[in-house]
Structures are given as C-alpha cells and as structure tokens.
Amino acid sequence: MSDNSPPPVEVAFGLDNHGRVVRIESGANRPNIGRLASIEETLRLLSNNLISDHPSTESNNDTQAATISSEEETTSDITGHELSTDVTDGISSPSHTTGSVPTISSEEDKRYCWVCFATDEDDATASWVKPCHCRGTTKWVHQGCIQRWVDEKQKGRSGADVACPQCNTEYIIVYPNMGPLVVILDTIDGVIFRVCPFIAAGIVVGSIYWTAVTYGAVTVMQVVGHKDGLTMMEQADPLVLLVGLPTIPIMLVLGKMLRWEDQALSLLRRHACKLPILRHFLPSSYSDEDRAQSQEVPPMNDPVSATRILCGALLLPTIASICGKLLFESMSSNFQRTLLGGVAFITIKGAFKIYYKQQQYVRQCQRRIMDYTENNVAKYRRQQNAESNQTS
C-alpha cells in the first residue's frame, strides 16, 4: 500500500526586505529573504529594526491625526445645524456642542396648544394667542380651542369673567359692537338672571304660606265643626285670619318639638321609690353591678327626625278629633270633645313612651359582652331565633 502523505517540510527563519523575522518553508518561493546565520545576529538585526521603525511610526501617527482632524472639520461643517448626542453613556459628544445652540432656540420658539396639544406642524393655518402670563408649554393656545374652553366656563353667560386655571389671569375678552338693541337685550337678560332666584324664593314662601292658611282653616273647621268653623271665619277680621290661620301649623310643630316626656321620666326616676305603683313600671333597684353599670351609661335620646315631627304635628288635630268622638261621644260641643280627645291621646302616648324609654334604659344598663365560646354562640342564636319568632 502506497503512502500518499506529503513529504516533510523543512522550516527555517530569515529576514525580509524590511528586516523583519519571517518563517521560511522549504520549497516555497521567497525571494529577497535572507537566512539568519545565528541567534546573536538575529537579535542584533531585530534591535536595529525597532530603532529604525520608531520615527516612521510617529510620522504615521501625525499623518493619521491630521486626516482625522480634517474629517472632523468637514463633518462639523455639514452637520452644524443638527443636534447630535452620543447616547453610549448618556454624555454629549464634545465635537457636536457648538452645533446644538441654534437647535435649542428653535425648540423654545416652537408653539404647543395646551388644549389640544397640537403644534405649528399639525396645522400651519391655525390662529395662535397668548392670553395670560403663563410661560413654557402653557403659553400658547389656539384661538378656536380657547374659545371653546371659555364657552364651557361661561355656561351660556356671555358676560361672565373667565381666568386662566394656572396663573389665574383674567382673560381679555373683547366683543364686537352689535348695536344698542343688543345691549338693551343683554341688560334685560342679566337683570332677569339676577332676579329669578329671589322670585323663585318668593314663590316657594308664598306656597308654604297659603298652604299653612289652608291647613289652619281646615283645622278650625275640624276642631270646632264644619258649620261653626265657617261661620266663625266669615265673621272674623280678614287680617286676623291671614295672621292667625298660618300660626296653627307652626304652633303644632313647635309643640311637637317639646320633649316633655324626658322631663317627666327624669322626675319619675327620682321619686319612683316613694310610690309603690311606680316601682313596678319604673324599677330603680338594681344589683351593685347593675348600679355601677347604669352610672356609666348615658341616658338614651330619641333621634330627631324632621319628617316624624312634621307628620305627628300635622296629624294631631285629626287624631284628636277621632279620639274625642270615640272617648267623649256624650259631649255635645265638638270643640270640647276634640280638645279632650287631643289631651287624652297625648297623655296615653306619653305614658307609653315613658315606659318604653325606661325599659330601653334598663336593657342598656344590664347588657353584657360575652366571651366568644361555642355555648355563648349557641345561646345567642337561640335568643335571636326566639325574638324573630315573636316578631313574626
């Protein structure tokens, strides 16, 4: 079997035309390359080569610097009006610093509309205005945009003043001269706008007044009697009727606002121990623990409800008339019967209210916060179920 491997190559070293050490293989065509005689000669030639190459290296560096400088000057002349920033480390390039000044000034002069955020490039035909003392991006605004914004603030009142939301500068709004007729109509419109609230308030007060007069007249006829009430109002002075009839619902409402039950309850609490009958309804003897608890609990007050007071006061004459017919039917006078029925209703209602408030106070004093255990939870649920069954 024949061996096809290439023949061995002899390797040697020599010097080229510039005096550099190169590798020489046998069989290769390397003209102008001399072989080295010995290691000492090779080192000497290398040192001489380094000394001779040093000045040429400096000259090459000077040539390259001059070439780079000329290229930079050419680039600076071409891109003098463009802003260039080296974003490698967030630092501006020193070679482009001088060309960025005109670009910054043009950016400052660029107009932005603070309403629609448009610029000159978006609409070159738009009209611009500086209506206030603002600077920067809020200095300029389109004439059409500021007109719409002023319309929204005026809400149909053309004479209303509008100010800048940033610097509070009042806008100078100039209207064209439309003639004396328009001025007169504007004046009339302004007067009506100012007078309408007072007219509306007067209508409301008048409605309430005549409603009170009507209620007073109905109450007189209900308490005294229909025929007797009409006869009495016909014979009375009209001024007395106009003043006296509206005071009837007012007096009823004021009387309903008097909390006489609270005063009676406090009086009965102080003297309940002296009367055996009151001890059953108003218990004043508690255990020592309940007594200490009751001293820390403030007395309960009914929440004030305007609708409840108004309904109770205005329905009192009707309820008094019904109670008078049921309880005092034997009396011939309708006025006396209604008066006694009203007194009886107020007394009975007050007694029940005093008892109810006293029981609420007792329950408030004897309440306890229990431990959250399974037995207490089961007991609490049974109590809630029993109360729900009683109410249903």
- Whether residues 286 and 367 share a domain: the answer is yes
Sign of the torsion angle spanned by Cα atoms 274, 276, 279, 281: negative
In a domain, 66, yes or no: no
* Mean pLDDT computed over 363-377: 85
**C-alpha to C-alpha distances, 40 to 14, 34, 177, 336, nearest whole angstrom:** 13, 15, 111, 152
Q: How many domains does the chain have?
A: 3
pTM for this model (two decimals): 0.51
- Whether residues 169 and 197 share a domain: the answer is no
Distance, in Å, from the CA atom of 166 to the CA atom of 149, rounded to the nearest integer, reads: 14
Domain span at residue 160 reads 108-175
Q: In the listed set 175, 205, 229, which residue is the last one of a domain according to the structure? A: 175
Give the H/E segment covering residue 14. strand 11-15
* CATH at residue 138: 3.30.40.10
- Whether residues 231 and 365 share a domain: the answer is yes
In a domain, 223, yes or no: yes
Q: In the listed set 175, 207, 229, which residue is the last one of a domain according to the structure? A: 175
Q: Which of 372, 317, 370 is nearest to 341 (CA)?
A: 317
Above 50 in pLDDT, residue 88?
no
pLDDT for the residue 78: 38
Of the listed ranges 82-86, 132-136, 372-376, the one predicted with least confidence? 82-86
pLDDT for the residue 104: 39
- Whether residues 256 and 369 share a domain: the answer is yes
- Whether residues 196 and 248 share a domain: the answer is yes
- pLDDT, one tens digit per residue, over 168-188 is 888 888 878 888 898 898 889
Check: CB of residue 142 under 8 Å from CB of residue 126. yes
Token pair for 207:
């409605």
Distance, in Å, from the CA atom of 232 to the CA atom of 228, rounded to the nearest integer, reads: 6
In a domain, 102, yes or no: no
- Whether residues 247 and 383 share a domain: the answer is yes
CB contact set of 323 (below 8 Å; sequence gap of 6+): 341, 342, 344, 345
Distance, in Å, from the CA atom of 72 to the CA atom of 55, rounded to the nearest integer, reads: 26
Token pair for 305:
């409800």
- Whether residues 197 and 51 share a domain: the answer is no
Site of tokens 């007189």? 220
- Whether residues 227 and 288 share a domain: the answer is yes
- Whether residues 211 and 359 share a domain: the answer is yes
Check: CB of residue 111 under 8 Å from CB of residue 140. yes
Of the listed ranges 9-18, 79-88, 139-148, the one predicted with least confidence? 79-88
- Whether residues 381 and 232 share a domain: the answer is yes
Q: In the listed set 58, 80, 96, which residue is the last one of a domain according to the structure? A: 58
Above 80 in pLDDT, residue 307?
yes
In a domain, 71, yes or no: no
CB contact set of 9 (below 8 Å; sequence gap of 6+): 25, 26, 27
Distance, in Å, from the CA atom of 36 to the CA atom of 57, rounded to the nearest integer, reads: 26
Distance, in Å, from the CA atom of 335 to the CA atom of 219, rounded to the nearest integer, reads: 11
* Mean pLDDT computed over 294-323: 78
- pLDDT, one tens digit per residue, over 243-271 is 999 999 999 999 988 888 888 888 877 77
* Size of the chain in residues: 392
pLDDT for the residue 19: 58
What average pLDDT is seen over the chain? Answer: 75
Full strand arrangement of the beta sheet holding 34-35: 21-25, 11-15, 34-35
pLDDT for the residue 160: 79
Query: How many helices (H) and strands (E) in the chain?
Result: 12, 5
pLDDT for the residue 20: 60
pLDDT band, residue 369 (cuts 50/70/90):
confident
**C-alpha to C-alpha distances, 42 to 16, 32, 242, 276, nearest whole angstrom:** 12, 17, 139, 141
pLDDT band, residue 358 (cuts 50/70/90):
confident
In a domain, 282, yes or no: yes
In a domain, 240, yes or no: yes
Above 50 in pLDDT, residue 109?
yes
Check: CB of residue 48 under 8 Å from CB of residue 19. yes
pLDDT for the residue 356: 86
Check: CB of residue 99 under 8 Å from CB of residue 80. yes
Higher pLDDT, 20 or 252: 252
Burial of 263 (0-12, 13-18, 19+ CB in 10 A): exposed
- Whether residues 260 and 387 share a domain: the answer is yes
In a domain, 187, yes or no: no
In a domain, 265, yes or no: yes
pLDDT for the residue 300: 55
- Whether residues 245 and 284 share a domain: the answer is yes
Above 70 in pLDDT, residue 325?
yes
- pLDDT, one tens digit per residue, over 129-155 is 998 988 887 888 999 899 888 988 888
Token pair for 131:
């209506």
pLDDT band, residue 48 (cuts 50/70/90):
low
pLDDT for the residue 125: 84
Above 70 in pLDDT, residue 200?
yes
Check: CB of residue 119 under 8 Å from CB of residue 111. yes
**C-alpha to C-alpha distances, 196 to 99, 114, 158, 216, 304, nearest whole angstrom:** 66, 37, 18, 30, 34
